[in-house]
Amino acid sequence: MTTTLAHQLADYVCSVRFEDLSKEVVHEVRRRVTDSLGCALGAWNEEPCAIARKVASEFSAKNGATIIGTAHQAPPDWAAFATGCCIRYFDFNDTYLSKEPAHPSDNISAALATAESVGATGKEFITAVALAYEVQCRFCDAASIRARGWDHVTYGAFSTALASAKLMKLDPEKTRHALNIAGVGCAAMRQARVGELSHWKGVAFADAARRGVYSALLARSGMTGPAPIFEGQMGFEKQLGVSLGDVGEKFKGAPAMILNTSIKYWPAEYHSQSAIEAALFLREQIEDLSQVKAMTIESHDASVDIIGSEPEKWKPETRETADHSLPYITAIALIDGEVTEKQFQPDRFMDPEIWKFLENVKVERNTELSAMYPGAVANIVHVDLADGKRLTKRVDYPLGHAKNRLEDFEVEKKFLKLVQPTFSRDHAAKIIEHVWSMDEQRDLHHLMKLVRVH
């Protein structure tokens, strides 16, 4: 009988050990945990994060996991959801660009919750995170599902189920059933990311992570799931209208896909990062901003399709729409000279003067830039001045891109800036130090205590 993709994935995940990971991968996991914790703590007070925390806190568990920022032990699937909402909500966590763009550090909430609930070591946690990145990124390379109307977080239910199964030390058979259970109910609609965006844009993966952990919990206790989940008559490929091809053959050797992912330098949708950098560069060339009459952004197809084509992008009425609007993000970078959380407050993105400026912002497709994607995430920004002069700047690899990496101190600086309102610099340094030595930690309990907000 032909070995199914689920069999291949289960066998692979069960075979990988911490000792197989390269030093570069281990170090990169530590960097991503630092980055993700910063994003989570920075967004901790945001409305959807508070809602998720309130709901999750209504449930307690004897062998549960800590909801980030609290001392409350919830069932691990609910803890993964609440923590995942925080990691993702600012749209500041890392990115992988491929046929299907994604944010693989979204997997970290599931790994944190599961690892804590089972008393996993730091090495086991690092291994699970590296595996989750490997699975999600390989799936993103295999097929685009957004074109079929499905959200990228659909792949996340598989990656988080496998990471959780690894941490629970399930055998290949139970690991396969965790995949089967996750897959049968995981398909998420792309409507989460089109039109007027809602809270759900920032919490959709957290829900997928919850389902992934839940699937592994059920499989651990002996629950079986339908198979073959990918190739079946009514399986994943048939239902979503895609072919995953030979993706199963790619899972050989130690996980390393995390090295191909990128860290965000600004809290906005990743395809806008190079446009932000270009706009900030051009701002330095302009003595009087009142002389700016128009802006044109040449971008690649993925960028235009995702954040630069719908009319709502020119009149954002929610934070979620604003941070997914190429015209707004680029314009506000030029006008304000920065892109921080302040630029995504309602009084800024709904300012009538900003909306008036956006009437003169155009987004155009550029075939050369499209051909370079996803290897590059390029934008060209043109600014037209009242005297007829046109200023232009092109950026292919923005700060933090896999080909333009942030230094460790820059990752730490980002973390410190995000947690500054909550923790003293000394306490924040303790968190960073703990994460840098994560592979030496016996469990995750102390880390979760360190990130307690109250």
Q: Give the tens place of pLDDT for each residue, 96-138.
A: 999 999 999 999 999 999 999 999 999 999 999 999 999 999 9
Q: Which residue has the tokens 């496998």?
A: 162
Residues above pLDDT 90, as percent of the chain: 93
CA gap 262, 453 in Å, rounded: 28
Q: Which residue has the tokens 């333009």?
A: 404
Q: Are 262 and 401 in contact (CB under 8 A)?
A: yes
End-to-end CA distance of the chain: 55
Find residue 412's DSSP bridge partners. Answer: none
Sort strands 292-299 and 361-365 into parallel, antiparallel or unpaired.
Answer: parallel
Q: Are 125 and 111 in contact (CB under 8 A)?
A: yes
CA gap 86, 65 in Å, rounded: 15
Provide CATH 1.10.4100.10 ranges for the chain. Answer: 5-265+433-450
- Cβ count near 62 (within 10 Å): 7
Tokens of 407: 């230094």
Q: Between 90 and 262, where is the model more confident?
A: 262
Cα-Cα-Cα-Cα dihedral of 345, 266, 256, 306, to 10°? 60
Taking CA atoms, 342 is separated from 267, 329, 418, in Å, by 10, 12, 13
- CATH assignment of 270-395, among 3.30.1330.120, 3.90.180.10, 3.40.50.920, 3.40.50.300: 3.30.1330.120
pTM over the 0.85 mark:
yes
CA gap 197, 37 in Å, rounded: 25
Tokens of 53: 């925390």
Within 196-300, where are the H helices?
Answer: 200-220, 236-240, 273-283
- Cβ count near 377 (within 10 Å): 28
Q: Which residue has the tokens 């707004």?
A: 328
pLDDT tens per residue, range 137-175: 999 999 999 989 999 999 999 999 999 999 999 999 999
Where are any strands of DSSP class E within 317-439?
A: 361-365, 379-385, 390-395
Tokens of 51: 């809602």
Provide CATH 3.30.1330.120 ranges for the chain. Answer: 270-395
Tokens of 177: 């059933």
pLDDT tens per residue, range 300-331: 999 999 999 999 999 999 988 999 999 999 99
Residue 434 carries which side chain, given as an amino acid letter?
A: H
Q: List all residues 6 or more positions away from 105 whose beta carbon is below 8 Å from its beta carbon.
A: 32, 35, 36, 39, 87, 93, 94
Residue 225 carries which side chain, given as an amino acid letter?
A: G
CA gap 116, 443 in Å, rounded: 7
pLDDT of residue 58: 97
3-state helix/strand/coil string of 341-372: HHHHCHHHHCCHHHHHHHCCEEEEECHHHHHH
The structural architecture, per CATH, of the domain 5-265+433-450 is Orthogonal Bundle (1.10)
Q: Which of 341, 343, 346 shows the shortest CA–CA distance to 421?
A: 341
pLDDT of residue 96: 96
pLDDT tens per residue, range 58-104: 999 988 999 999 999 999 999 999 999 999 998 899 999 999 999 99
pLDDT of residue 193: 86
| DSSP single-letter state for residue 119 | T
